[in-house]
Amino acid sequence: MRRYLDLPTGQVHVRVAGSGGEDSLLLLHRVTSSSWFWDPVIPLFAREGYQVIAPDLPGYGLSDSPAEEPTLEWYADIARRVAEAFGALTPWVLGNHTGASVALQYAASFSDALRGVILWGLPFYPAETRVRFAQEAEPTYDPEGVDIAHWWKWNYSSAGRGDGQAVATRAVGELMLCGRARPLGHRALGRVDHEPLLRRVTKPTLLIDHARDVLVEETRRASALVKGAEYVELADGTPALTDDDPSRFVSEVHSFIGRRRRPMQSTSVGG
């Protein structure tokens, strides 16, 4: 099911599935993607009993662009408002790349408004790299569409075992939808030192990545900064992990949540 939410900042497009009650799962996509990115895993999470909530972050997919330059905390607050709109006051929050930065900010800023966080490929960059992201310029497209062709080829080859044409079609469609808003998420994460945020996280945390991801080293380093965090690295994963092996990805996340759920209170009396 797809919905539009009317927020003070504009309309936000959201994909929703399942009815998990306490077990809600908020999915936050990367730049330049959208909630479309999560299509292969949304029904699988729903079958595991989750209420799945996957918004297009403002400026991406079918959501309105922000009127002013957004911050990482602004994105996290939008994500929290979306979850609350669907009755998910304490969801599990899962983010990929830029979405992982938003999820991390969510966990650090709104600790009482989530049950735990899953960070898939966290951009835990050094200061000099963050400066480049913080200054990312708007895209320019030449008459031959070289930038678009490059994006098509890269995403087509990313699908190791899946449908390269389907992955590339989605990725190029998402790229065109975000238009000049394309760098907003990158600029927001580039202005924030992630280390203090990692040290502020108190809820159950999983950092997950695969050996071919461009952020695997950063994710591994970040895992050491969150007290009690779990780290999972999939040796044979591909850049299009949720397309190539969605069941495995869902299984890893579901297993983590199962281990970290709050224990049920006992209703027995006496010994």
Q: Report how far residue 113's alpha carbon sits from residue 77's, in angstroms, rounded to the nearest whole number.
A: 11
Closest by CA position to 28, among listed 2, 55, 46, 63:
55
Q: Report how far residue 46's alpha carbon sits from residue 44's, in angstroms, rounded to the nearest whole number.
A: 5
Q: Say if 113 falls within a structural domain.
A: yes
- φ and ψ of 8, to 5 deg: -55, -25
Q: Report how far residue 74's alpha carbon sits from residue 68's, in angstroms, rounded to the nearest whole number.
A: 11
Averaged pLDDT score across all residues of the chain = 93
| 174 band by pLDDT with thresholds 50, 70 and 90 | very high
Residue partners of 246: CB distance under 8 A and separation at least 6 = 40, 41, 44
Of 140-149, 169-178, 222-231, give the lowest mean pLDDT range.
140-149
- Tell me the average pLDDT across 114-129: 98
Residue partners of 141: CB distance under 8 A and separation at least 6 = 147, 148
Q: Say if 95 falls within a structural domain.
A: yes
Q: Report how far residue 228's alpha carbon sits from residue 201's, in angstroms, rounded to the nearest whole number.
A: 10
What CATH code is carried by the domain that includes residue 225? Answer: 3.40.50.1820
Q: Say if 23 falls within a structural domain.
A: yes
Query: What is the reported pTM?
Result: 0.94
Q: What pLDDT was estimated at residue 263?
A: 53
Strands 2-7 and 10-17: antiparallel
- Total count of residues recorded for the chain: 271
Order across the sheet with 51-55: list the strands. 2-7, 10-17, 51-55, 24-28, 92-96, 116-120, 205-210, 230-234
The predicted-structure confidence for 185-206, as pLDDT tens digits, reads as follows: 999 999 999 999 999 999 999 9
User: Given a cut of 70, is residue 270 above it in pLDDT?
Assistant: no
Residue partners of 108: CB distance under 8 A and separation at least 6 = 196, 197, 198, 200, 201
The predicted-structure confidence for 125-137, as pLDDT tens digits, reads as follows: 999 999 999 999 9
User: Given a cut of 70, is residue 262 above it in pLDDT?
Assistant: no
Q: Say if 269 falls within a structural domain.
A: no
- φ and ψ of 206, to 5 deg: -120, 130
Q: What percent of the chain has pLDDT over 70?
A: 95
User: Given a cut of 70, is residue 244 above it in pLDDT?
Assistant: yes
Q: Say if 271 falls within a structural domain.
A: no
Q: Say if 168 falls within a structural domain.
A: yes
Q: Say if 267 falls within a structural domain.
A: no
State the residue for tokens 């224990």. 263
Structure tokens at 39: 């299509």
Q: What burial class does residue 149 get, using C-beta atoms within 10 Å of its C-beta: 0-12 exposed, 13-18 middle, 19+ buried? A: exposed
Q: Say if 265 falls within a structural domain.
A: no
Q: Report how far residue 233's alpha carbon sits from residue 231's, in angstroms, rounded to the nearest whole number.
A: 7
Domain containing 88: what range?
Answer: 2-260
Tell me the CA end-to-end span of the chain in Å, nearest whole number: 48
Q: How many domains does the chain have?
A: 1
Q: What is the DSSP letter of 85?
A: H
Alpha-carbon distance values, 179 to 67, 78, 142, 174 (Å)? 15, 20, 14, 9
| 271 band by pLDDT with thresholds 50, 70 and 90 | very low
